[in-house]
Structure 1
Amino acid sequence: RHMPAPARALPFVLAVEAMRRSGWLEPPAALNGHTFRLTVEDIGLEVRFRCVDGRFAPGPFDGSASDLTLRAKVADYLRLISGDADTDTLFFQRRLSISGDTELGLEVKYWLDAAPRPTWVGPFAARLSVLFPAPASAS
């Protein structure tokens, strides 16, 4: 929390931009020009980023509102990334909160659910989940 917001955002943005460049997370055109906030509740992390010309970039950090905010705990993001849970399941279990532009939220939801996942993602997320176990009711 004591690290400046741009420094907190950079590793995440570099990772998703690398995934985009590898063809895994190609953003739909509807994301272009929008700002996003990703909050990881249990570790107190908030990342702000945007989609510019089909690429992911950090920011803005000027205090302006994001067009869309996603909130969850590490274990739930790992379940989403690995494909063990979809956005609807996490949303209706109140484990994923999506707020802001409703139409944009639907685009992001469909995009995340449909994104192809490399074969290594499931085992990688499973290894990370040992560090951030989900409560028994989340499985």
Structure 2
Amino acid sequence: MIRVTNRISLDESELQEEFLRASGAGGQNIQKVETAVQLRFDILRSPSLPEPVRQRLLRLGGRRVTGEGVLVITAQRHRTQLRNREDARERLLALIREAATPPPPPRRPTRPTLGAKTRRLEGKAKRGDVKRLRGRPDAE
């Protein structure tokens, strides 16, 4: 079991890993060794996720989620298969943790109180007076 949060744990069997050759620069190592990892997690069929978390995860996944609801994470930053595997899992767990936090309630706009309006206008008048006094004295 992979512990995500206090309430959510994933079973190892829910994750499917496929190893492939990474793209980009790297010489012989990258051309011969399958170090990149493609991690697949079926969001829609996972028994570990509560429904609200599942919906938020589908939305957060964006282009990484297939039409069947499978989240695909490809990791190829590191030179070794093990580190890429750990990287892919950490990215998955971070995404699930982000989906597990409920969104804040929507902000309801409020109006300024009468006292706040009065203080604001008094401050503006005082500042205007200060600026007016900076002018040249009258030639009387």
If the TM-score is normalised by the length of the shorter chain, which range does it land in?
A: under 0.3
**TM (normalized to structure 1)?**
0.22
Structure number with larger C-alpha Rg:
2
**TM (normalized to structure 2)?**
0.22
More contact order relative to length (CA 8 Å, sep ≥ 6): 1
